[in-house]
Amino acid sequence: MDRWIEEHLHKHWHAKLKVDRVIHEVNTDLQDLVIFENGDFGRVLMLDKIIQLTSKDEFVYHEMMAHVPLCAIDSPRKVLIVGGGDGGVMREALKHPSVEQVVLCEIDRGVIDLCRKYFPEVSNGAFDDPRSKVVIADGAKFVAETDSRFDAILVDSTDPIGPGKVLFSEQFYQHCKRCLNPGGVLVTQQGLPFLQPWEIKESVRVFRTLFRDATAYLPVTASYLGGHFALGWATDEPSLRKVPLEVLRERFGRLAGETNYYTPEMHSAAFVHPNYVVRLLETRG
């Protein structure tokens, strides 16, 4: 009999993925994890029955989380990734030649080990790059206590369920702001505006109490079913959201390696919202 795994992220809509072959299945100290093969999405990682990563479309999320903030900044040098144990965002951040260090703070060592074993193409050697530093710790605790400062903080978290819930709190965002260099950018995973409107609405509301400029930008990731995907954006430097296209093209040309989704044109277009998202972000309370 065929096996299907049902994703339980949304209250009124569940989606099923066919399991062609189970690669690994385990209950870690923090979450339930399964890795399997699927004919459409390739190799799939699910945590607590929620899709985190597929080998076929991972490039969309990882490129857009990394390159939008890092191409907006002129010569970023130090980057913090909270979560991101698969190494995909780190892989993309390291394509920027000005980057001197990428600190990856992941709460679950098991996620890193399993992704390095079963998804080696996602990190593509990033964990072995001399500019990379891995810290196994609670991300919220790390930003609350560290003395380090960063040009960009990229929160590659799970949804606000279980261990990822604290990474959507006002206190966490306050600590992230403290850890940013002047002109730095905070980018966060914010789910699907169509099906999870409260997620981006609440985060942007909090961002606007802390930062001079706050909004979201919208890539489309095939395996995150339900329309546009939102990445939150917060900074005290409003000009970073309006970098001229010719400047983005020049910075893009410096990258060490190719991209499959990100382009300077996609960068600019991602900040253009359909009206339902415009209204969502403008709504107060």
- The residues that bridge with 154 in the sheet, in sequence order, are 81, 187
Instruction: Tell me which DSSP letter residue 74 carries.
Output: S
Tokens standing for residue 187: 């980018």
Instruction: Tell me which DSSP letter residue 137 carries.
Output: S
> Residue 285 pLDDT > 70, yes or no?
no
Q: What is the pLDDT of residue 11?
A: 83
> Residue 231 pLDDT > 80, yes or no?
yes
Domain ranges, ordered by start, for the chain? 3-54, 58-282
Hey, what CATH topology would domain 58-282 get? Rossmann fold (3.40.50)
The catalytic site residues sit at: 156
3-54 CATH: 2.30.140.10
Tell which residue, 73, 203, 253, has the closest CA to residue 150. 73
> Residue 167 pLDDT > 90, yes or no?
no
Tokens standing for residue 211: 């930062």
Tell which residue, 218, 153, 226, has the closest CA to residue 190. 218
Q: Work out the pLDDT band at 136, boundaries 50, 70, 90.
A: very high
Mean pLDDT across 31-56: 91
Name the pTM for this structure: 0.94
